[in-house]
């Protein structure tokens, strides 16, 4: 805006704009910019924790509960817990002490329960297709096995050979073995569905993998009060060694789940 000054007959100085059209355009531009900034801020905040959904799931990671909320138009956070039923199987295992034959019943149970924090990333805003990444956190014990009754004929600090492995029972005559994995399990997958939408009920599904490292076969050591991992050098049984090799070659757990949400 250009200003000029002129001296009046009475000696006073007067000033006036040369171009009132430019001044009006400037004001309109400032108002429009302020309006757009306000709309952009409102649009950005529209998807941040503005709605929530609670859901139930079932799948290869077990049954579970979830809470979901959007953090942007492209990302939804999910937190929850999931657990596999503690299915058990019993088998009878023979053993010998000082050339006397005994047998014991061993029960093995699944032991998988995790908390999780996942992020669904929607690359296409109008589609329910999403990429998922995050973490599962839970007990390292995947399968736990122990005898259902105290071992007979075993004195304190004595061990028994079970399947080629020397295991020491605790003071109650109980021996424990476990298949252990990493407690912290990164997850990656793909899926369809949105927990939060304009509908109250929403369906979603996912397919992915938990990376749980290299599973190991372990025995509980009562004297050291810790789990000790067995290697093929410790196991003097060919069948057990083959099973151990197969087990250690499975670094991921496949996840296929189906989820139903109520959005509010």
Q: What is the pLDDT of residues 198-214, one digit of tens each?
A: 899 999 999 999 999 99
pLDDT tens digits, one per residue of 126-140: 899 999 999 999 999
**pLDDT-derived band at 236, boundaries 50, 70, 90:** low
Residue ranges covered by each domain of the chain: 21-46, 83-189+207-254
Q: Is 222 left (phi over 0), alpha (psi -120 to 50) or beta?
A: alpha
Place of tokens 């390292």: 140
pLDDT in tens, 145-182: 899 988 887 776 677 766 566 778 888 888 888 999 99
Query: What are the strands, taking DSSP E only, across 139-183?
Result: 141-147, 160-162, 165-167, 176-180
pTM of the model: 0.73
Q: Is 204 helix (H, G, I), strand (E, B) or coil?
A: strand
Angstrom distance (rounded) from CA 154 to CA 166: 13
Is residue 73 predicted with pLDDT exceeding 90?
no
Token pair in block for residue 81? 């817990």
Q: Please give the Cα distance from 71 to 79 (Å, whole number).
A: 13
Residue 101: left if φ>0, alpha if ψ -120 to 50, beta else—which one? beta
For 86-135, the pLDDT digits (tens) are 888 898 888 777 778 888 898 999 889 999 999 999 999 889 999 999 99
């Amino acid at each position: 805006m250009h200003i000029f000054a002129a001296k009046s007959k009475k000696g006073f100085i007067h000033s006036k704009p040369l171009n009132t059209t430019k001044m009006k355009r400037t004001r309109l531009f400032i108002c429009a910019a302020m309006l757009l900034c306000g709309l952009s801020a409102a649009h950005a905040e529209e998807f941040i924790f503005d709605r929530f959904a609670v859901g139930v799931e079932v799948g290869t990671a077990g049954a579970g509960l979830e809470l979901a909320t959007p953090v942007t138009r492209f990302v939804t956070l999910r937190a929850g817990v999931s657990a596999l039923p503690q299915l058990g199987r019993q088998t009878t295992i023979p053993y010998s002490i000082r050339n006397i034959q005994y047998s014991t019943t061993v029960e093995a149970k699944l032991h998988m329960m995790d908390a999780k924090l996942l992020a669904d990333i929607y690359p296409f805003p109008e589609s329910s297709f999403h990429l998922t990444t995050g973490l599962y956190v839970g007990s390292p014990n995947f399968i736990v096995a122990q005898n259902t009754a105290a071992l007979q004929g075993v004195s304190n600090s004595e061990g028994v050979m079970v399947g080629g492995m020397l295991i020491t029972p605790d003071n109650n005559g109980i021996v424990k073995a476990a298949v252990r994995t990493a407690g912290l399990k990164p997850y990656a997958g793909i899926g369809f569905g949105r927990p939060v939408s304009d509908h109250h009920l929403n369906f979603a599904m996912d397919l992915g993998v938990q990376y749980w490292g290299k599973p190991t076969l372990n025995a509980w050591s009562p004297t050291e009060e810790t789990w000790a991992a067995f290697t093929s050098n410790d196991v003097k049984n060919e069948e057990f060694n083959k099973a151990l090799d197969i087990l250690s070659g499975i670094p991921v757990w496949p996840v296929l789940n189906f989820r139903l949400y109520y959005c509010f």
